[in-house]
Amino acid sequence: MEPVAVGLGDATLTASGSPLRPGILLDRDGTIIVDHGYVGSINRVEFITGASKAIARFNLAEDGAHIDLFAYCPYHPAGVIEAFTRTSQDRKPRPGMAKAAQAALNLDLSASWVVGDQHEDIGLAEAVGASAVYVGADRCERPGVWSFPSLAAAAPFILERIAV
């Protein structure tokens, strides 16, 4: 079985529909694309070197990376638009988006990986019982968390260890 690549928070999902399969839940900003703050326009999207090739390796796409599902949380407790100013189970590190991906894609979250550049991403992994990879220039010194400079650097490590 192929793993499912899932981007969350600012997220991405790739899947092929097999029951109870491992997933790779990917944060968007700082993991797949450069974090320039609020995206707002396609002109502000800048892929991090190697990210799309890493996603292609996760989903085994012949012609490159593909995305089957995007998940995001429009709510923030300190939001500026009143209708979206609230707490939500979908806001990381809470498990809402991961649970929705689990239901939609038949994921086994305990056999899955969460990859991100923020401590909230690592908190999400802990909340759903997934393995965690922290990407970026800094290291995450939490037990059971592996640190890599980028998604591209982490991809072979994850693929060697993912339960398929």
DSSP string, 60-89: T-TTS---SB--B----TT-SSGGG-S--T
Banded pLDDT at 58 (limits 50, 70, 90): confident
Q: What are phi and psi of 5, to 5 degrees?
A: -95, 125
Classify domain 4-161 by CATH architecture. Answer: 3-Layer(aba) Sandwich (3.40)
Res 60: pLDDT: 77
Res 64: pLDDT: 66
At 76-87, the pLDDT tens digits run: 999 999 999 999
